[in-house]
Amino acid sequence: MNTIYVVEPIEKSGLDLLIKAGYSVYVRPHNLSIIESQTQINFKQVVGMIIRASTLSIDELNLFKNLAIISRHGVGVDNLPLEAIKERNIRLTYTPGLNAGPVAELTLLLLLNLLRKIPVNKNDNTFPVGSSLANKKVGLIGYGKIAQKFSSYLVPFNNELLVYNHRPKKLIYGTQVSLNYLLTESDIVTIHIPAKKNTHGLIDETALNRMKRTSYLINTARGSIVDSDALYETLLNKKIAGAAVDVFDNGAKYTLHDFSKLSNFIATPHIGANTKETLKASSLRCAKEILLFFDGKKPIKSYF
């Protein structure tokens, strides 16, 4: 029986849709690796895969000899061996746009928590004084669907918007500028770009040194974009006012444990897209992409 391999649990609506269409669905238990799960199902029967944030190696991909489609439950594809997938002519779909609202909401939430010092305010009569978001100059690195949604949420705060994007784009409002200008002039810098070779470590020591001592950095995109070691030392020495992240990569020197001791740092565990509504929509989209593929129909959103 044709099987859809689900690398990690997803909301059940999409799974129900696949089962109703006659597919067998296997959801890998969290305590088994992909290789170990061979003891539970016949990999030769796997024709489709749904994957969220787990990393899929080339060796793991090669275990699935009859795999025809991978449906990425999310936007980034930096967790996948793209060249190997392409060489085997495996269809790759993804779900851009479905998470834009929730990730933009979390970006705003992290920003307000950081500005108002909510995590460090305790009932001990110290009451650290925060800052207002209103009238601040906000710099957006990247201008995709999440950044655009986030910029729309800023409208009531009367912010001046600076945007850096790798190519010219029509802005909802604001001004497109160079990265160096954005870093130097912004009171708040938010990151909204994908993880690629040319964005790895983009926000390094040099970039952080360009920021104002009173400025804040928010990253809800990918951890690899920020040099964690440089960020730790920047925060420790109070070269910027604070940082908040929903994504994080350990540095060579410092880990998240080190960051957790800083009073000017906030982290959430990559929950930007984790709302009931988004998880259901993404689950259904992934299932529909698989059904469309095997029906010989055009995908909703194909990466290649």
Domains of the chain: 3-97+276-295 (3.40.50.720), 99-267 (3.40.50.720)
In this predicted structure, what is the pLDDT of residue 99? 95
Q: Are 77 and 260 in contact (CB under 8 A)?
A: no
Over residues 137-165, the mean pLDDT reads 97
Tokens of 129: 């004084």
Q: Kindly report, residue by residue over 39-57, the tens digit of the pLDDT.
A: 999 999 999 999 999 999 9
Structure tokens given for 48: 């489709």
For the sheet containing 46-51, what is the strand order?
24-27, 3-6, 46-51, 69-72, 91-93
CA 93 to each of CA 85, 229, 235: distance values in angstroms, whole numbers, following the listed order: 12, 34, 38
Q: Is the pLDDT of residue 241 over 80?
A: yes
The pLDDT score that the predictor gives to residue 264 is 96
pLDDT for residue 123 is more than 70: no
The confidence score (pLDDT) of residue 128 equals: 82
Q: CA 151 to CA 292: how far, in whole Å? A: 34
Strand-pairing partners, residue 93, are: 71, 302
CA nearest to 73, candidates 55, 91, 92, 50: 50
Could you tell me the pTM of the whole model? 0.92
Buried b (16+ CB within 10 A) or exposed e, 126-152: eeeebbebeebbbbbbbbbbbbbbbbe
For a pLDDT cut of 90, what percent of the chain falls above it? 94
What digits encode the pLDDT tens for the residues 165-195?
Answer: 999 999 989 999 999 999 999 999 999 999 9
Which helix (H) or strand (E) is 107 found in, with range? Answer: helix 100-115
**Residue 124 confidence (pLDDT):** 62
Mean predicted confidence (pLDDT) in 3-24: 98
Asked if 162 contacts 185 with a C-beta cutoff of 8 angstroms, the reply is yes
Mean pLDDT (whole number) for 251-265: 97
Q: Looking at per-residue confidence, does 202 or 127 come out higher?
A: 202
Query: First and final CA of the chain: distance in angstroms?
Result: 26
Q: In what order do the strands lie in the sheet with 242-245?
A: 175-176, 160-164, 137-141, 188-191, 216-219, 242-245, 265-267
